[in-house]
Structure 1
Amino acid sequence: MSRLRAAFTLLLSVALTILVTVLCSVPIILAGLIKILLPIPGVWRAVSTFCHFMMYGWCAGLAALLHLNPHLKWDVQGLEGLNKRNWYLLICNHHSWADIVVLCVILRKCIPMNKYFLKQQLAWIPFIGFACWALDMPFMRRYSRSYLLRHPERRGKDVETTRRSCEKFSRQPTTIVNFVEGSRFTEEKRLQTHSPFRNLLPPKAAGIAMALNVLGGQFDKLLNVTLCYPENDRQPFHDMLTGKLTRIVVRVDLLPVTQALHGDYINDRVFKRSFQQWLSDRWTEKDQLIDAIKAEYKNAGH
């Protein structure tokens, strides 16, 4: 009976999630077609406002679906002082596809609609890729170290993409989200990357360094978000869909955007090293925080 209940919950959750996504993404896609046919600044601004409204509806729909799970408990700290009229740069660890859902749900009423740095490959997913483009999501083409050794002319291209994407965000309050690890955490990836952290992959600094360089004067705060699923650490997204997710822990740390975080990451080696060290220090603190959260709930369970 337990397996049948989980299977039914999974099918129902997937069906409802698809329904909510279709209802919100189809109008966004149609609005995106208007952006292509009428490349006029005023039209683009109106379309962007409409697309943000529809994305808010998608976030609200996901929040309603999560509330159908009677076992799910939230432990969220640090939302005080956030404002939808401000600009934010948000960095976060990336453990699961559930992370995107969690960030959308808890932050939708607190800050401007999230803009996620997305992998270039996602642009080719039918419907979803075009909807993300209509929402002005920045797509990042990441190159491996071995590829750059073979094609040195590509060095810095992903950073230039960041620059172009961020420039258009200067017109209205925006939250730029970057999962700076570049990939979802797994133990296999942790070993492959020789990560010095127990719960995280090594952070990649170039994207947020460029975002700060382009929009640093407009960012009111940097949001350092830590996500943890202490009772569902192995497969939180699957557990979310099957109704087995029992606890989501979110910690939001507001950091000042100081002058020390502004600089030429590509050409200034001193700044590059200092910025990488600053980010590594934040990741060390985040790793220790996740350890503490897991220990707290493990002890509470006993």
Structure 2
Amino acid sequence: MRWLRVFVVLLLIVVNTLVHCLPLLAAAVVKAALPFKPVRRACNRVLTLLAESWISVNTAMIHAFTDTRFVIEGTAAPRIDGHYLVLANHQSWVDILVLQKVFNRRAPLLRFFLKRQLFWVPVLGLAWWALDFPFMGRYTRKQIAKNPELGRRDMEVTRRACEKFRDIPVSVMNFVEGTRFTRAKHDSQGSPFRHLLKPKSGGVAFVLDAMGEGLQSLLDVTIAYPAGIPTMIDLMADRLPEVRVLVKERPIPAELVQGNYQDDREFRARFQQWMNGLWEEKDADLEQMLQASPVRAAG
């Protein structure tokens, strides 16, 4: 019976994706073919409305086909027309659906920095391109040390993306750990945190440098799965009993905006210290969220 549920939900997700992506791609082609400000502005609005509708239908299906409880806490009250940096821990592909549920139509559309290989995902890759999601190389420190041009390439992608983001309401999303958490990755890193990998500060620093004072604030999101880290199949099969989310809105320190993270060692050390402080607090929050008693709440 569970596999029948998974099949039905997956089929509906595919249909929902095709229904929304075809007009989305059409609007993106018009925007690319007619690069005039009024046309681009109108197309951006259409693209956002289509993306929000797509997300809303996916969220409605989660509520219709699962008994997953969402316990969402925090005092953040973002403006729908604002500009925000969103940071979150990363454990599963389910994180993306959780973030979309939390912020859809309550904050500007989330735009993720994606691995370049994801551009080739059928249909979705083109949809992410149409929505101006930046595609990054995501090179390791060793690769950049061997070829510094790789690091500059990602910096340029970030700069171009942020130039586009200045003209539209946006929530710039960054999974700071750079990869999904597993115990094996945690141990191989020697991470000092109980439930998190080490944060990678470079991408955040590049966004703050490129967008300057155009960002209103930081939305710091902590996602916890008390029953264990789920897969997408677990969600569709109704094997995910509860998701807990904590959202904190924080000011962005003025002294960390528009610094030279790449070449200024003192600035880089200050920036990393700030990020590590956020991660220490997030780790403590995660510990509490995982240990707290179950709450009958949905929404």
With the shorter chain as reference, the TM-score category is over 0.9
Aligned to 1:297: 293
Identity of aligned residues (%): 35
Q: 1:271 to 1:47 in 2, by over 3 A?
A: same
Aligned to 2:272: 276
Q: 1:65 to 1:161 in 2, by over 3 A?
A: same
Q: Structure 2: how far apart are the matches of 1:148 and 1:218?
A: 29
Summarize the alignment of residues 191-210 of structure 1 with structure 2, pairs less than 5 Å apart: 191-210=187-206
Task: Decide whether the 8 Å contact of 1:112 with 1:174 is kept in 2.
Answer: yes
Task: Decide whether the 8 Å contact of 1:264 with 1:271 is kept in 2.
Answer: yes
TM-score by length of 1: 0.92
Deviations 1:57-77 (A, max 9, x none): 111101111111452211101
Q: Structure 2: how far apart are the matches of 1:144 and 1:213?
A: 21
TM-score by length of 2: 0.93
Deviations 1:143-198 (A, max 9, x none): 12232233233233212211111011111221100111111111122122222222
Q: Structure 2: how far apart are the matches of 1:248 and 1:178?
A: 20
Task: Decide whether the 8 Å contact of 1:32 with 1:130 is kept in 2.
Answer: no
| Residues paired across the two proteins, number | 295
Once the two structures are TM-superposed, the CA of residue 9 in structure 1 deviates from its matched residue by: 1.2
Aligned to 2:129: 133
What is the letter of the counterpart of residue 35 of structure 1? K
Report the more deviating stretch, 93-102 or 155-164: 155-164
Q: Structure 2: how far apart are the matches of 1:82 and 1:185?
A: 28
Once the two structures are TM-superposed, the CA of residue 223 in structure 1 deviates from its matched residue by: 0.4
What is the letter of the counterpart of residue 86 of structure 1? G
What stretches of structure 2 of length at least 5 have no aligned partner?
Answer: none
Report the more deviating stretch, 113-122 or 65-74: 65-74
Task: Decide whether the 8 Å contact of 1:159 with 1:206 is kept in 2.
Answer: no
Aligned to 1:95: 91
What stretches of structure 1 of length at least 5 have no aligned partner?
Answer: none
SS at 1:200's partner residue? coil
Summarize the alignment of residues 91-240 of structure 1 with structure 2, pairs less than 5 Å apart: 91-231=87-227, 233-240=228-235
Report the more deviating stretch, 262-271 or 151-160: 151-160
Task: Decide whether the 8 Å contact of 1:200 with 1:287 is kept in 2.
Answer: yes
Task: Decide whether the 8 Å contact of 2:9 with 2:65 is kept in 1.
Answer: no
Aligned to 2:242: 247
Aligned to 1:19: 15
Deviations 1:67-100 (A, max 9, x none): 1145221110125422102111000011111111
What is the letter of the counterpart of residue 258 of structure 1? P
Q: 1:150 to 1:267 in 2, by over 3 A?
A: closer
Confirm whether residue 259 of structure 1 aligns to residue 259 of structure 2: no
What is the letter of the counterpart of residue 235 of structure 1? P
